Structure 1
Amino acid sequence: MYQCICLLLVCYSAVHAGPINLFTNTTMDDRPDIEFIDGDIAFPAGTAPGLDSGRNAYIQSSKWTGGILPYTIDGGVYTASQITTITNAMRKIEQQTNNCIRFVQRTNQPTWLRIFAGSGCWSYMGRTKTSGSQDVSLAKPGCVYENIAMHELLHAVGFAHEQTRPDRDSYVTINYNNIQSGTESNFQRYLTSDVNTFSKAYDATSIMHYKWNAFSKNGQPTITSKTGLANSVLGSSNVMTKLDIEKVKAYYGCA
């Protein structure tokens, strides 16, 4: 059964040096079977909403049964340390949600996440298949940081970027004059009928929020706060915020 997509927010400026800033570095997998919206959300080719129509995206994401996400990590690709970083990101989501969301190594489950070292950091949103593997790309080394892995895994759980909320224009300004040409669609806004915000407040610090200079063409802000927050605050969390946790738990019935 499909559920209306839920909204959280990514902090791609990790606490360590070297991570890819996904929203300024747009190099992604060049695969004919995939297209992207909002920078890092994958759809099967020809199915991504809003890219050609110019309308706000309409997306419905399916939940993972019981909040359990089976996974595999491509063997022989990541170092032991990198695998630990990825699994630590999973454990952090589990801990923060009190095991409302759980990641388990795949045995015979018909649908699972395949974490692989593609180009860029990206994921599908929610459970998109009833059988087979569903890709999550964590390019190495730039995407293999806990906060980046958490962000992409939360997309897989079923959450979009916070600044795509229908009410976002009450909280932030999108500075289109500073956005790289051709990437404007990454700043689309969802319709009220398309999403469930669980009546939670807008969360500018969320791990699922764009940073202030996402897709900037000139180093100037592409997003600024209307409530007086400093640029550095936007998308500044390296873990799930209190509101992030509340939304995930509400969506999966653990509230």
Structure 2
Amino acid sequence: MLQYVKLFLCLIFLSCKAYAIPLEDSGDAPNLFGLEGLSENNAIGANFIEGDIAVPLQTGRAAYIRSPKWPNGIVPFDIHSLYTNDQKSVIRGAMSEIMKSTNNCIRFVERNSSTPVWLRIFPGQGCWSYMGRVKSRGAQDLSLQATGCVHHSVALHELTHALGFVHEQTRPDRNQYVLIQTENIQSGKEHNFNIFPSTSVSTLNLPYDYGSIMHYRSDAFSSNGRPTIKAIIDTGKDWDSTMGRGKNLSNLDIAKLKAYYSCS
């Protein structure tokens, strides 16, 4: 009898542990931001595409043109209490940039007790978000691991996923602008460089943007330190050393956010 009690308690412990928010983050998993000390992205009840986009298990692969928008561009949110005040300021700063850049057409507002769906920003395992508004009720998670992910650019990137966008280099026309150097990609990470067909994804009739906050770094998921993505259009700028390393929304990022949310 005692052994069954021990087994039961062990199962309870493991179950609780699986859902716990880590107080101390550790790890050094490959990630598209080139950050050190990050754990491998993990979300309960979801798979990942493109490295940091969580997709509910029952829906499979999705494209941002089908990502439900947040009604009227209003995104209720809650920032977890485990973050320090400085970390909360970084997250709010990213929200503020999106709001100001769209002339408050997109707004992040504190959730209240009657909010049906909200963005729950918490220090989970890794840096990731769902794409668009995927929940019908309750909290929709966005993870910014406390020791590694809480940077202005990373918060901007994940918030833009939450608003409904995938990565820039997954556009159906991307092969006209970049070369994917598959020989340099880590084994098993090749799927992160797939593209979406034009039947699934809209370019919003706006140009390809090497400087997008949503673009991969040129060495994303590299196995040898060499580039996995190389710009093939001569724009007079060295994009290979700068793509995916921007700190703020680009002008085209802002234009795309406004277009998708029908901002004036």
Query: Given the two structures, how large is their TM-score scaled by the length of structure 2?
Result: 0.82
Report how far residue 237 of structure 1 moved.
Answer: 2.1
**Equivalent in the alignment of 1:90:** 95
Report how far residue 29 of structure 1 moved.
Answer: 3.9
**Equivalent in the alignment of 1:242:** 251
Kept after mapping to 1: 8 A contact 2:80/2:121: yes
Report how far residue 233 of structure 1 moved.
Answer: 2.5
Identical counterparts, % of pairs: 49
- Give the 5 Å matches for 1:137-152: 137-152=143-158
After TM superposition, which residue ranges in structure 1, 4 or more long, deviate above 3 angstroms?
Answer: 24-27, 29-32
Q: Higher helix fraction: Structure 1 or Structure 2?
A: 2
**Equivalent in the alignment of 2:164:** 158
**Equivalent in the alignment of 2:261:** 252
Q: Which amino acid aligns with 2:161?
A: H
Stretches of structure 1 that go unaligned for 5 or more consecutive residues are 1-19, 50-56
Kept after mapping to 1: 8 A contact 2:76/2:111: yes
Stretches of structure 2 that go unaligned for 5 or more consecutive residues are 1-28
**Equivalent in the alignment of 1:10:** none
Report how far residue 28 of structure 1 moved.
Answer: 2.7
Give yes or no for the alignment of 1:188 onto 2:200: no
Q: Higher strand fraction: Structure 1 or Structure 2?
A: 1
Report how far residue 140 of structure 1 moved.
Answer: 1.0
Alignment deviations for residues 96-124 of structure 1 (CA, whole Å, 9 cap, x no partner):
11111110000121000000001111000
**Equivalent in the alignment of 2:130:** 124
**Cα separation, 1, equivalents of 2:124 and 2:163:** 20
Report how far residue 195 of structure 1 moved.
Answer: 1.3
Give yes or no for the alignment of 1:174 onto 2:180: yes
Kept after mapping to 2: 8 A contact 1:208/1:235: yes
> 1:248–1:30: structure 2 CA closer, same or farther, 3 Å change rule?
closer
Kept after mapping to 2: 8 A contact 1:174/1:224: yes
Q: Which amino acid aligns with 2:47?
A: E
Aligned length: 228
Kept after mapping to 2: 8 A contact 1:58/1:191: no
**Equivalent in the alignment of 2:4:** none
**Equivalent in the alignment of 1:232:** 241
- In our comparison, the structure showing a higher alpha carbon Rg is 2
Kept after mapping to 1: 8 A contact 2:41/2:127: no
Kept after mapping to 1: 8 A contact 2:168/2:212: yes
**Cα separation, 2, equivalents of 1:48 and 1:170:** 27
Q: Among 58, 76, 79, which residue is 2:84 paired with?
A: 79
Query: Given the two structures, how large is their TM-score scaled by the length of structure 1?
Result: 0.85
**Equivalent in the alignment of 2:39:** 27
**Equivalent in the alignment of 1:11:** none
The secondary structure found in structure 1 opposite 2:132 is: coil
